[in-house]
Every structure is written in structure tokens, then in C-alpha cells.
Amino acid sequence: MTDYKQVLQKEIQDLKDRTGQSTLPEEMRGKLEKEIISLERSVELGSYDEKYEKVSRYINWSLKIPWQKETTDVTDIQKAKEVFDKHHYGMQEVKDRFLEYISVLNLRQRQAPGEDFKAPILLLVGLVGTGKTTFAYSLSEALGRKLVRIPFGGMGSAKELRGNSRLLLGSEPGKVLKGVCDAGVKNPVILLDEIDRGAEEANMDLMGVLVELLDPAQNHAFTDTYIDYPINLSHAIFLATANNTTKIATAVMDRMEKITMPSYTDHEKIQIAKQYILPGLLKDAGLSENQFSIREDVWKMITRPLGYDMGIRTLQRTLQGAVRKAVRIIVERKFERVEITKENAKIFMPRY
């Protein structure tokens, strides 16, 4: 038992050293130092197992928070255009809005360097597969910022966003703060993905947390229940996506600028498949472009296996299946290449 006690004392000293060397706010540092003193007393009295677990976990999370660290924005408009064109075919109106967004950041940096800028919050609304989430990744890449994605699909409690009380053994911060900790900077792009898809019974509470996150008057002091100390999220850029807005509270909508995602035409889908989807699938499968091809007159059949579809996910799944079948044919039958034609297309198409 004495050896175990010595190990704990060594680990507590490590916590004390790391706390002293960190860039914590002074008030938070004092809070952690009190916790360490209390922990040391518990160890001396011999009742330390559960308390050590709770306190060490709390201190480790507190030290992981990027209280000061930030990335510097890259606001080169030409580079941003290249990034958006690389990841998105068409969608020019949506791209233009994002380029305007980056242009404003650029001008603010030059005219008022160091001054806080409350970036507008964009809400991308559109059906599944229209590229909403991908735009957040593109904005993150264009600005050189880290990305935090928080999926709302099926979220059953606001505690998932805000965390649980640290008095409960095994508690952790909520998804917002955990995402920021994983990013390692206090100014990431935070994607609130599918905010209309939280559980019905939790929707009101989730909307309440969203108001706090998206309101510039409040998000400079966002309080995670677990950490129980204000965290400054005002330097983050927030983006949100939704399939529709019927479940989104008016107070949340008032804090965002809605952008409606257009649906893809058949021509656009075919170009997206040729330029973006298929090359990636072939690479993942270990095939060269010379080993797999699709005749031009087959593309419409692949694009509409079940009739009209606004997004591209069905198209993506169809192509994934076709590539897998082609790989099997090449491996099993020793074919050098596979070409999909009208005559053999049924072999490669999904069976619905």
C-alpha cells in the first residue's frame, strides 16, 4: 500500500508541475491548485482512490483546453477559390458566398489587425447528399483552420453538448469542448452538423445550448458543465447544416444566415462522378484508370438507378458497388481491365 501511495504522490506532483507550467487563466489555475491540495490531503489520510480518479481526470481535461493557442488565418482569395473548386463542382452561388466571407476576413485583418471580428454564422440547408458538410471542410482548408465536427443526428440530451457534472465518476466534457480540445486551438471552424436531427424530446434543450454557442454576446464565456469555468469560443467560426428548418428554434435561426443548397442536375452529377468520386474509388481499390472504365451512354443509367435524386450519395454507393465487382472480376478471372457497357451494366448495378 505504501508503494501505491508513493506512486500517487509522484503522479500528484506531476499534476502540480504541469499546472504550474501551463497557460491557464489565473483564476482557473487557483482552482486547480486547490483541487491538488485537497487531493494531497486525501492521500495522506488514505482515502484517495475515487477522489484521485475524479480530480486527476478533471485536471487533465483542464490542461488540455487550448486557452491561448490559435492558428493564423490564410485569407488568400485565389487559394480559397482553388480549394472550393477542387472539392465542389458547380454550386457557384454557394462558393461565391464563402469567398465573400473570406474576403471580409481578409479586409478586417488588414484594416483592423488584432481586433475581434464577429464572423457571420452560415446555415447550409439542403437535402442529404447536396454537399453541405463538405463546404465546412473546404472552408477549414482554405483558411488553414482546424475543423471540429459535432453531429446532432440522434442526439438525445443537451448534456452531450455541454457535459456532465464532474462529481459523477467517469464524467467528461461535452462534445463542444472535447472537439476544441482535440483541435488544440481556440479558433477552429466548428461545424454543427444536421442541427435539425436531434431527438424530438431533447430539441428544446439543444436549441438553448445553440443560442449560447451562436450568440456573440454569450459565446465568449461558454460554460461546459464538467469544467465549470467560462471558455472563450468567440474566436471560433461556426457553421451549421440542416435538411430543413422546421425544427430549428426562431432564436437560433435569427443568429444565422441561411444558404439554400441547390440540387444537382444529371449533367453535374456525371461530372462530379467522373472528376471527384470515381478517381478516389479507383485509388482506394488499387485500380488504375486503365483497368476500369464506363461507356458514356451508361452514365445516365448509373446516375438514376431509382429515378431522380437531388444528392449524390446514391450515385456514390452505386459506383462503389461497381468498382468492387470489377475488382473481383479482375482478381478471380484474371481480366486485365473491365469496361461497363449497356450490355453488361446489370451485372454492376445494385439490385433494389
Is pTM, for the whole model, over 0.75?
yes
The whole-angstrom separation of Cα 126 and Cα 311 is 9
Contact 101, 143 (CB under 8 A): no
Contact 248, 240 (CB under 8 A): no
What's the mean pLDDT when you consider all of the chain? 90
Task: State which residues of the chain have pLDDT below 50.
Answer: none
Task: Encode pLDDT of 44-74 as tens digits.
Answer: 776 666 778 888 899 999 999 999 999 999 9
pLDDT the model gives residue 326? 96
Residue 40, H or E segment: helix 26-45
Q: For the domain bounded by 266-348, which CATH number is listed? A: 1.10.8.60
Buried b (16+ CB within 10 A) or exposed e, 153-164: eebeebbbbbbb
**Secondary structure letter of residue 41 according to DSSP:** H
Dump strand ranges (E) for 24-162.
122-125, 147-151
Cell of 204: 428544446
Contact 247, 199 (CB under 8 A): no
pLDDT the model gives residue 207? 96
- Let me know if the fold of 77-260 is the same as that of 266-348: no
Given CATH 3.20.10.10, say whether it is the number of domain 77-260.
Answer: no
pLDDT the model gives residue 305? 62
Domain ranges of the chain: 2-64, 77-260, 266-348
Question: What single letter denotes the amino acid at residue 254?
Answer: D
Between CA 21 and CA 32, with CA 27 as vertex, the angle to 5 degrees is 60
pLDDT the model gives residue 63? 95
Task: Encode pLDDT of 136-170 as tens digits.
Answer: 999 999 999 999 999 999 999 999 999 999 988 78
Cell of 299: 452514365
Cell of 301: 443509367
